[in-house]
Copies of this chain bind each other. A is one copy, B any other.
Amino acid sequence: MSRPRLRDYGIAIGQLPPGPRNAITDVRGVRVGHATLIQGEGPLRPGEGPVRTGVTLILPHAGNLFREKVRAGVRTLNGFGKPCGLEELRELGVVETPIALTNTLNVFRVADALATHALAHNPEIGVSTSSVNPVVGECNDGYLNDIQGRHVGAAQVTAALEDALSGQAGLPVREGNVGAGTGTSCFGWKGGIGTASRRLPQEAGGWTVGALVQSNFGRPEQLVVDGLPVGRFLRPPGYRPQPEGGSIMVVLATDAPLTARQLGRLCVRAGAGIARTGSHFGHGSGDFVIAFSTAHRIRHWPQELTAPLPALAHEPRVLDALFAAVVEAVEEAILNSLFTAETMTGRDGHVRYALPVEPILERLRRPRW
């Protein structure tokens, strides 16, 4: 279901080195799970299919997230989207469930399933303590998928959780037509899930930044690959211009000890990574970024009033390195989603073609200077 990644061809984005997996799972303890739904062919029968969708979960750690939350920040680049959970994330600066990605109309059923999961492990929720705040992002995969059918339910969320928790942390992340990326489109080509990571120099703390994207934005003529204006020359077969109705969800993870305010600043820089691939942050594109830090856990039931929090002492020395890491990782994660995704035929015979990488690679390998 997946082709080689950008770096498999010897192409590197930016200056910083990636982590060992070049994935968000390079941030220690982070796990990713997918559930993928591909069923049926032919004309759209709303509620029945064809189905080309799924759900992807990002877990900051494998423990009980409600009881041991992680610090988080968020930025809305373009708010034309239906995510859940951002108000409370913004107010309290924490994430307390897995972060889920799915299709636009399915976001509520997935949030409900995350709540069910949290209730199962924390029966006190809503009874003797506050409620739980599921965080769910989404992209519109309706060009290929029977999006009205809302086929992702509790079973798929459970399967994705099991997928995330099976095996060890730090495993590679499947990309392309998988999970929430199964039915998405990017620059008129097949998009999907992509990931990448960057390692900071030791003198800047040696921390890791990982990015995972669900790519579903842009028009073909806009695509830029590592500065190469691919979109001016390469168009999908039979492409007819369409208004952009896409979106991109970006999830950032780091082990740097950042406050919620600082994590929010990281999110801003994801916008630069997205812009470098050619995006205009189109009107119809819901572009959201969520960042979390694994450096510290916030206990729901702490024993002390105060606790020392590991924190950056001086921002400039480290933050510019973190910002560069975010820009590079997001740009590469988007390109990985395009490079790895395979051609997909969906409802009504709609086809999203895999980005043809050879003509691009050939130009990228030419001397630039």
Chain A residues close to B by CB (< 8 Å): 15, 44, 46, 76-88, 90-93, 104-105, 108-109, 111-112, 115, 119, 123, 125-127, 129-134, 140, 142, 147-148, 150, 204-205, 221, 224, 226-229, 232-233, 243-245, 257, 259-261, 265, 268-269, 271-276, 279-284, 286, 288, 298-299, 301-320, 323-324, 327, 359, 363, 368-369
Q: Is the CB of B82 within 8 A of A286?
A: no
Q: Which of B147, B279, B317 contacts A305 (CB 8 A)?
A: B317
Copies of this chain, complex-wide, total 4
- Contact assessment for A87 and B86 in the assembled complex, using a CB-CB cutoff below 8 Å: yes
| Minimum C-beta distance from A242 to chain B (A) | 10
8 further contact pairs, Cβ within 8 A, besides A15-B221, A119-B148, A131-B142:
A44-B127, A80-B130, A82-B133, A112-B112, A115-B150, A227-B228, A272-B279, A303-B313
List of B residues within 8 angstroms of A319 by Cβ: 283
Chain B: minimal CB distance from A309 (Å): 4
Inter-chain CA distance A308–B314, complex, in Å, is: 12
A142 adjacent to B126 (CB under 8 Å): yes
CA distance A100 to B233 in the complex (A): 41
Q: Contact: A130 with B125, CB < 8 Å? A: no
How far does the alpha carbon of A130 sit from the alpha carbon of B286 in the complex, in Å? 11
Known: A80-B91, A130-B245, A318-B305. A272 touches B269 (CB 8 A): no
Q: Is the CB–CB distance between B127 and A282 below 8 Å?
A: no
Establish whether residues A307 and B313, one from each chain, have CB atoms under 8 Å apart when the complex forms: yes
> Cβ of B77 and Cβ of A82 under 8 Å apart?
no
Task: Please tell me if the beta carbons of A105 and B126 are within 8 angstroms of each other in the complex.
Answer: yes
**Contact A280/B127 with A275-B275, A310-B308 known, Cβ cut-off 8 Å:** no
Say whether B320 contacts A312, CB under 8 Å: no
Given the known A-B contacts A130-B284, A148-B127, A369-B233, are A308 and B311 also in contact in the complex, defined by CB atoms under 8 Å?
yes
Residues A83 and B79 in contact, CB atoms below 8 Å apart: no
Task: Return A93 CB to nearest CB of chain B, in Å.
Answer: 5
18 CB < 8 A contacts A-B? A79-B90, A80-B130, A82-B133, A105-B125, A108-B108, A123-B148, A233-B368, A265-B283, A272-B275, A272-B280, A272-B281, A275-B327, A280-B320, A305-B317, A305-B318, A306-B312, A308-B309, A309-B310
